[in-house]
Amino acid sequence: MGVTVVFWSPVPGQAGTTTNLLAAATCMGLEYSARLLLLGHLQNSYAAVERAYFRPAAWNGIHAPDTGIDALLRLLKNRKLEPAMLRDYAHPLLRDRLDILPGSIKQEDAFIEMAKEWLTPMLAVARRAYDVVLLDGGSGRGSAWNELLRQQADVWVICLPQNRLLLERFFQSAEASMLQDRRTLLAFGQYDPYSTLTVKNLMRQFRIGTSVYPVAHNTGWMDAVQHGESNAFWFRNRKTANGHENHLFVQQVRRLAQAVIDSAGARQSLFGGKEGDSP
């Protein structure tokens, strides 16, 4: 039985929740033999998660009514969905390691109204087919749908901003009080290593007793995500030498990816990337 990992941030737009998820997923796909399913936001076709892997010119051939979350929900409602069928409706990003399930082509409100009843059983089937199921839980506390996504988590990756005021609010919140009761990782996304608000200082100030994973802001990665070149970026940069402009980012994401794999109990043989795969 696999594990559901949900990336979520208490504040919108500052902690790189989606880009952290994409970087960790791609790194895990390249370096571990666990079978991974990337679900993204579920409700938006060609959302940010999907754009990161497919160039716009290729999109028409990738998303269709008989693939993705819509097709799975139809099968589930008709009691015909089996774990072995999931891979027929997903798209492989890294052969035998990382698949992505396209989001819905329905209007967001209509999709959520239909899907909320079936989300839990669908993820239960997905965990039988994959070792790790990765979800983007969005940010903030105002959305009932994002709250439902967060409730599915076996492992929480909470993405935090490098902002003292927002951190003070978070560590006084109900979510922070629940950290001891869940398998939780803390990631500082869009991290500035030159700020005086270093991870070490923040851990001391807020008495953070768990491991923390900074992920530095990286312009090359942000551009790659925008242009559908996430895999290509990691193939080019996974063996960068110390001193290279992308070295720190790659090493930090690698540590986060290893922590996610370990928390999910899915660490298997380390590949370092199959040279035969293509970006």
Residue (of 213, 194, 196, 244) closest to 27 by Cα position: 213
pLDDT at residue 16 greater than cutoff 50? yes
Using DSSP bridges, classify how beta strands 132-139 and 3-9 pair: parallel, antiparallel or unpaired.
parallel
pLDDT at residue number 63: 59
pLDDT at residue 250 greater than cutoff 50? yes
Whether the Cβ atoms of residue 7 and residue 21 lie closer than 8 Å to each other:
yes
Whether the Cβ atoms of residue 150 and residue 8 lie closer than 8 Å to each other:
yes
Residue (of 220, 225, 231) closest to 277 by Cα position: 231
Q: How many residues does the chain have?
A: 279
Helix H segments across 32-155? 48-51, 68-77, 86-89, 108-115, 119-129, 144-151
Alpha carbons 148 and 135: distance in angstroms, whole number: 11
Residue (of 164, 175, 173) closest to 206 by Cα position: 164
Which tens digits make up the pLDDT trace of 86-134? 988 888 999 999 999 888 877 778 888 888 888 899 999 999 999 999 9
pLDDT at residue 267 greater than cutoff 80? no
Tokens encoding 212: 């923390």
